[in-house]
Structure 1
Amino acid sequence: MTAAPAPLFILSFRQRDELASLAAGAGWQVVAARRIGGAERRFLSSGAAVAVIDARGAPGDGLAAATMLGGAVEANGGAMLALVSRGETVTIAALYDAGATHFLASPFSDTELLQALRFASRHAERMAREWQAGPAFAPLGWRYDLATRLLILTPGLSALLGIEDESGARALLRRLDPGDRAAALAALRRMTPARPATAFAHDATGMGRVVQHLQLDMAAQHIDAVVEPLGSAPEPAAEMREALAGARDAGSARRWLTRRLANAEVVPLHAMLIALNRFDMVNTAYGRAAGDALLRSAQKRIDDVVHEVLGRDALIARMSGSTFVVAATSLRTRIDLALERIVGELARPFVTGESIAVLGCRIGLAEALADDSAATLLRRASEALAEARDSDSATMRFADSRAESGSAPIDRLAVDLNRAMERGEIGILFQPQVSVSSGAIVGVEALARWEHGVLGSIGAETLFAAAARADLEIGLSDHIQKLVLAQAAAWPAALAGVRLALNLTAADIARPGFADLFLDRVDASGFPRNRLTLEITESGLIEDLSIASTLLSVLRGTGCRIAIDDFGTGYSSLAYLKALPLDYLKIDKKLAQDITGSPRDRIVVRGVIDMARSLGLTVIAEGVETDAQLEALAKEGCQIYQGFLCSEAVTTEVLLRLLLEK
């Protein structure tokens, strides 16, 4: 039977299609992208072990992409092939630091590119084999972390002694005879910053006479030891120093997970990937030494929480860069408690020299499934982490068998939702809508956010998915409408000219008597009807368009305006345009961002704008992030935009400052 094609991820800003066609013709299953946005998530979900970053002609974008993917490639034991323009030695060095493992300089032939892909693929296969089998030389040694007081054995010494690769220092000392134990303690006391190296000899069961060569590293706050059976010299090579990291590097973490997965237990195994926010900025601003010290401080905080909540048997490892993995066989309630504590600890400021750094973190969590390997478990955690990073402000994303990879645990959220409304955990933010011609803020869209104690900030899409699971859609919609109207009615006079856009759900529209109920709610709040725009989500299913048209006509007749939201993502776009009384058409962000893509993309967006304006509708583009997108949309006739180019969703206080700055 023919083997399935190996997946390959390609990110090329200018030659995506050409590279994809060449690789596909050589037997790869290609997932290709031309934009950085979402690249980490797409790489992880592709299942590829090799990522190609085409930095030719766009070294800045190429470096940004390599930096984004570097951690995921390293943490998942993959390879990164960077394509560069010949002579760009500075770019090559920066790409190497970002995580590139292979390079190919242009001009190159098709044959040379395919050969480079094969080399990168073999590298990834070799990494996978090494992580499963452990290091070939099985070195003997240990590392003692002075900050965490954690003793970590190399896999070779762990296997020889028949104990776990993480252990307490006392457990190892107890294996020595009293005389040898005294010699060991004396050697440890002899080490000082002025005299960092020493040694002592002792008898070891099964090994005979050995010498332990100790070295103190005050900068890194640890003691390393190489265990030398007499008659052989200690291994001085660099890989020995790496091996001394024990279970705190990516390879040993995988071996730890493999052992736990092989010994099926009743208590589930969870793995979480924890990525520090804004670490690169601190590292750049204060230097690598300060960055390393900050990483040690962060790991100390994680260690303290994990050992207190999950016990000493939990795995704590630094996977790559500023990303850590924590894994434990524990009940979900304990995992949730650990998550909440870790988020809180990493949100506290860090001292960096004479300055204060505030980092925070993003977390991806996965529960082991019956057929998981260490690689698949970590990959699902990586996908969840990528989702958390891509979100506006979510601290954590969960990937398990009950929900799609990268989504929040909907069943749990459904249980928590009713209590969240009672406790006031659901809040409202406002995203500005800006006139393309004048640059003035002319409106805002109200967006709901759930500040969950463990999962962080949860957006409206997940919030309403949880409400649907809990049969609370109408209750949640009523709750949000009351919150929005109450806040907007209390706006200061400076916001008197700003329109308010409020979303209505398909369930709202189907409710008998909703028009009267809603208008009473608006009037009771004191917010003017003629400054209110009601948005109907185009991707939501309205079963009876005639009922919806009648309802919206009533609301429109009282002064409200009607918008169709997320246009271009659903399946009934033209039917909605024909049947519903509309004033605004909002182009979905994915469609709006395509305006700077291929000529075909631009033609599609131009057609939507032309159609809307022919119907007398004002066009609003969502998700505008760059000046190039805005310029292209303006040329095609778009009148209003919203997106990160102006601002994310903000509080009333921040909105007022933005308005005064415009």
Structure 2
Amino acid sequence: MSDVDPAPLYILSFRQRDELAALGARAGWQVVAARRAEGAERRFLASGSAVAVIDARGALSDGLAAAVALDGAVGSNGGAMLVLVSRGDTDAIPRFYDAGATHFLASPFSEAEFIQSVRFAGRHATRMAGEWRATAPADPLGWRLDLRERALQITPALARLLAIAEDSAPRALLRTLDPGERRTALDALRRVATRPATAFAHDITGVGRVVQHLQHDAQAQRIDALVEPLGSVPDSTAAMRDALAGARDSGGARRWLDRRLATGAPLSVILIALNRFEMVNTAYGRAAGDALLRGAHRRIAQAARETLEKGALVARMGGSEFLVATERPRARIDLAIERIVGAMGRPYVVGDAIAVLGCRIGMAVRGPADDATALLRRAGTALADAKASDSATLRVAASGEQEAPIDRLAAELGPAIDRGEIDILFQPQVAMADGRIVGVEALARWEHATLGTIGADLLFAAAARADLEIALSDHIQHIVLARAAAWPLALARLRLSLNLTAGDIARPGFADLFLDRIGRSGFARTRLTLEITESGLIEDLNIAATLLTTLRAAGCRVAIDDFGTGYSSLAYLKSLPLDYLKIDKKLAQDITGTARDRVVVRGVIDMARSLGLSVIAEGVETQEQLELLAKEGCQYYQGFLCSEAISSVALVELMARPAS
């Protein structure tokens, strides 16, 4: 690096801050890097950079929120915004352009490609704004340490602020810090000796919290530090955005809606209100309430991603209300509502307690004269109707459409059970070592005459609404055991996995009742695996442990299902008599994500195998996922890569094919 001071570069990366900062530092920029969106606009302006790099890989919602927050600062100062996205998220690029992005780069990319992209973005800023007028302070705060001479130079502004000489010894600078902060500073100096860049935070009297960005120039044998004031006055907007894990706010949501409405595209909005949230806030405090809101946002966003795919908007509108907006057709929206209702119905951990909240939903479809305000007002009216109702989970604003599937199904479920309309399909479980199908999981389905295929989540949500959970569970168990006991010889070696519900676990005498049910069916207990979801265990771990110990002693095997969905606890693995751990499909699919994603998946597999548990990965859809999971030690999988859930007849045909 030459003696010319390096140009500044602002980087916001939620998962790979240090890696990107190192790339920028090696290329010669003075990097100001952050991993949180709090105060992003202020920090970008203070950095003096002409380019803001937003790394949205693995954090699409956070990245979009940051782009929106930085749009005004970048645009008004003639800058450029470079967004990094995962290869699978390139269809989100138009949304980033709407939010103010000027350039993008899709991963995987090389170091050279990243550097070239930043340089092109810088050239764009120069062309658009002429000579860049930095908005950083004219008299910056910083210092330079010559490692050969052990000589320290301090900028005049920092020297005045700390009341020390500009050519003080290094220890004089350290003495301005509190003892605890000196250790933090020394740790940072040790880190930067082996890497291009690092940072640490501390307080300065009269300034408040600051971050020191350290950069090591190995060739020149010096360390440069830029001291970035963060300010002592809280930025309430940024703080709320951080508290809600990147949820778009109501203003941003309205602007998004107006842009979509202007195109004439079909648009539906769904308003979701948490039930009884105020009770949690009152009983446990605002911090617990904020944590619950973050959890609710993650659940809603995941349900939207899985059912509406890319392009749906998820935002918090205020209080405990959230918005989902989409251009997808009604069938997809119904599926999204099913998933959201199921997700919101799962218990939340609040401090040392468990809270079951649920939700109410109001929906509106755009009308010919709707703007964002009118569309949201109609959805809000529908939500108010749902809240006022004794039983309706969802209301649809006047448009001639049917009410929510869950309410209709709740009324029709009892007769459907009596008529035998609930069917069972089986999804194969495959040994990774040789590709053999070694077992199946039984999954309930209802082929509704007008609503189509109803899956287990909506089925049990409707059962809960109609107070038919036990009746539905008993009905499914009878069908599954009878069907499996009648399997032909071709299926005689398969294990059968059957889900038990939270209601089953809580039923007095359920172990004896269930073992008798197995005995009367004629199916061998030793071929039966009982799957328990974490959400079903969380309410009373002792009762669950006692029940499962009894069933396991009788010959059954036990699996914990959907591990990694948000309730994961080492207490389950330590306290319960388990044989299998089933990795949730979202976690399993992360194996092809970032290096950090793979570390998490590897950790779960290693932990399970160390405890003597076999590991089954759910939702495996690609050969790449399969190979990476196998490499990490996963023994079994199920998912579309082998087969969707199928009938017994189709299962016999599948078993006849040679293992791949």
Which bin holds the TM-score, normalised by the shorter protein?
A: 0.3 to 0.5
Query: Under a length normalisation based on structure 1, what TM-score does the superposition of the two structures give?
Result: 0.47
